[in-house]
């Protein structure tokens, strides 16, 4: 039986706006793997951000940190990290400008002192506390914040593979101008964090590069690949794979280069597309 290698983004693709995995998406992935297809997570999240709800679905491996970490069947193929001195310089700039952030590594998520308060300020600034949206976001953010450890002197800064900044202090462009030459600085893939929040990764790292590395390891052809995504950090992934499927809630830039569209993440988009392509 021929098989397909599927690369699955997380936020806005596998997970809905509240960070939950729709039951239909989990069911589709399990069924596809049972049919002999390979399914890899391909996400901007670092490994320590992937909770039990996601990982209990079962995957053949993962690409994390926007391409900085690659794992297949429990074997780590690559893990690219910031140099310690570079990381300390970056942190100094964020601290001096009052920009909240959390440092991502496979060991955990390490936050600035103002990170949780800034998240709350940005996420809930325009939401009625009596609304269903507030209750869903409140629950989701509380769970995420439980994964954060406030930064302290015991952190090993040589293990950091990504920085996420939660920003309502300076325009995104200021951070991008400061670090865009040395690193890839992109807007946050979590819309509720606001337009001035973003992510910083090492130069030259993106999902497409990581997929190429993984396919070489598996000795597989691009012609067998599919990918599902919703945001700008999925563009390189779509440019590489054979079939790129954009979610109904995807950005217009991604939809323009997608080979196909499905419904939104919370409208059984993954399940419907898996059925369409006879993966299940």
pLDDT in tens, 63-77: 999 999 999 999 999
C-alpha to C-alpha distance for 253 and 230, rounded to whole angstroms: 9
Inter-residue contact 19 to 144 (CB < 8 Å): yes
C-alpha to C-alpha distance for 176 and 159, rounded to whole angstroms: 23
> What is the topology classification, in CATH, of domain 5-80+205-276?
Rossmann fold (3.40.50)
For 149, the enclosing helix (H) or strand (E) is strand 148-150
| Residue 2: other Cβ atoms inside 10 A | 6
Block means of pLDDT (10 residues each) for the chain, 280 residues, are 91 85 97 98 92 94 94 95 92 95 92 95 85 82 89 87 93 94 88 90 92 97 97 95 97 96 95 97
Report the 3 state secondary structure along 55-104.
HCCCCCEEEEHHHCEEEECCEEEEECCCCHHHHHHHHHHHHHCCCEEEEE
Span(s) in the chain for CATH 3.40.50.1000 = 5-80+205-276
Span(s) in the chain for CATH 3.30.1240.10 = 84-202
Tokens describing residue 207: 């999902």
Tokens describing residue 135: 């209750």
C-alpha to C-alpha distance for 148 and 163, rounded to whole angstroms: 13
The predicted-structure confidence for 81-117, as pLDDT tens digits, reads as follows: 999 999 999 999 999 999 999 999 988 999 999 999 9
Scanning the chain, the segments in alpha helix (DSSP H) are 23-34, 52-55, 84-96, 115-123, 132-145, 172-179, 207-218, 235-240, 252-257, 269-276
Phi, psi angles (nearest 5°) of residue 185 = -115, 115
Give one word for 65, left, alpha or beta, with left for phi > 0 and alpha for psi -120 to 50.
left
C-alpha to C-alpha distance for 89 and 274, rounded to whole angstroms: 45
Query: According to the model, what pLDDT value does residue 236 have?
Result: 96
> What is the topology classification, in CATH, of domain 84-202?
3.30.1240
Tell whether the torsion through CA atoms of 41, 61, 18 and 167 is positive or negative: negative
Tokens describing residue 137: 């976001």
Query: According to the model, what pLDDT value does residue 1 have?
Result: 52
């Amino acid at each position: 039986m021929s098989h397909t290698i599927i690369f699955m983004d997380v936020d806005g693709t596998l997970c809905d706006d509240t960070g939950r995995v729709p039951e239909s998406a989990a069911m589709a992935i399990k069924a596809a793997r049972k049919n002999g297809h390979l399914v890899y997570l391909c996400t901007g999240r670092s490994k320590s951000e992937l909770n039990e709800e996601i990982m209990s679905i079962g995957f053949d491996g993962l690409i994390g940190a926007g391409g900085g970490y690659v794992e297949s069947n429990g074997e780590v193929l690559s893990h690219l990290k910031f140099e310690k001195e570079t990381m300390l310089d970056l942190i100094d700039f964020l601290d001096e400008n009052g920009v909240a952030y959390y440092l991502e590594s496979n060991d955990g998520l390490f936050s600035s002192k103002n990170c949780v308060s800034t998240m709350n300020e940005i996420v809930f600034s325009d939401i009625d506390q009596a609304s269903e949206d507030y209750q869903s976001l409140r629950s989701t953010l509380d769970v995420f914040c439980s994964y954060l450890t406030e930064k302290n002197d015991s952190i090993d800064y040589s293990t950091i593979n990504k920085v996420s900044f939660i920003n309502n202090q300076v325009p995104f462009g200021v951070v991008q101008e400061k670090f865009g030459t040395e690193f890839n600085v992109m807007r946050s893939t979590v819309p509720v964090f606001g337009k001035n929040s973003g992510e910083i990764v090492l130069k030259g790292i993106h999902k497409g590069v990581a997929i190429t590395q993984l396919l070489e390891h598996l000795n597989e052809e691009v012609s067998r690949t599919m990918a599902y995504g919703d945001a700008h950090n999925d563009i390189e992934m779509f440019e590489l794979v054979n079939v790129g499927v954009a979610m109904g809630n995807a950005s217009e830039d991604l939809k323009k280069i997608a080979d196909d569209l499905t419904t939104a993440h919370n409208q059984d988009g993954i399940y419907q597309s898996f059925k369409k392509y006879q993966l299940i």
